[in-house]
Amino acid sequence: MPAPINRLKHALGAGEMQIGLWLNLGDVTTTEIAGAAGYDWCLIDGEHAPYDPVTIQNQLRALDAAGGAAIVRVPVGEDWVIKQVLDLGAQSLLVPMVDTVEQAASVVAATRYAPEGKRGMGAAVARASGYGRIADYASNINDEICVIVQAETRLAMQNLDEIAAVEGVDCVFIGPADLSADMGHRGNPGHPDVKAAIADGVARIRAAGKAAGILHYDAGNFGYYRDLGVKFLGVGSEASLFRAAIHANLDAARDAVKD
């Protein structure tokens, strides 16, 4: 039996819109709820949320049980981090701060077994292969790993054509928050210069034949990014949605009982 087919990878390759949610709370119950909601993917944010290998593994289990497709954002694109997350069972990765073609190529190589790459052969005793139950895991897993690299600096945008052209990169995700800060507009990803840079970046990613991604919290902008050609669309975080719902509930209650 080979490794499972990666639905997200194949959908992005086919040019299908994939809508997803960031997971920042580190709580398996909220992850289970999100995973069952029907998002095309949910992202376990190992860069900015309280995750370690054990909690990432538990998040993957919760999403598997709920039927949701999982992505893990690793904290850094180091070989040992990528190897560990893949052995935990992740098949889709988002790697932050990829600024050069050399970094992008190294990230892809870290996700592939030799001779195509340099991933260590340890999955036979790890969750990725069902602790050996998926006996032919290594036979096809190179083809089922989805690699999403994150362009979020001016340097990355300068190198975007070369980064997007790397074989094995499935999607280039533009990080608007860090990009706007690097461009001198911290806290203002909607600045005209930032929007222009993102629009140009999406066009260049598409020209390379790869999927373009973005994260935005305002539903009023989702159609704009669709029209740009974004196919990997993050529409919020469970932490932000929870906060907004809590405040809305309290405001409604206070309005209902005020004199």
Domain containing 213 equals 7-257
**Alpha-carbon torsion 117, 106, 22, 15, what sign?**
negative
Residue 148 lies in a domain: yes
Residue 101 lies in a domain: yes
Residue 2 lies in a domain: no
**Given 10, 48, 185, 247, the catalytic residue:** 48
> Is 48 among the residues known to form the active site?
yes
In order, the DSSP letters of 141-174 are: GGGT-EEEEEE-SHHHHHTHHHHHTSTT--EEEE
Q: Residue 19: which of 69, 72, 79 has the closest Cα?
A: 69
Residue 225 lies in a domain: yes
In order of 4, 72, 223, the CA distances from 53 in angstroms are 21, 11, 36
Residue 210 lies in a domain: yes
Read off the amino acid at residue 111.
T
Return mean pLDDT, the chain.
Answer: 97
CA atoms within 13 A on the CB side of 3: 23
pLDDT tens, residue by residue, 21-73: 999 999 999 999 999 999 999 999 999 999 999 999 999 999 999 998 999 99
Per-residue pLDDT, 68: 85
CB 35 within 8 A of CB 252: no
Residue 103 lies in a domain: yes
CATH of the domain at 80: 3.20.20.60
pLDDT tens, residue by residue, 85-102: 999 999 999 999 999 999
pTM of structure: 0.96
Residue 15 lies in a domain: yes
Q: Residue 119: which of 101, 135, 141 has the closest Cα?
A: 141
**Most distant CA pair in the chain, distance:** 73
Residue 1 lies in a domain: no
Number of domains present in the structure of the chain: 1
pLDDT class of 177 with cuts at 50, 70, 90? very high
Phi, psi of 172 (to 5 degrees): -115, 120
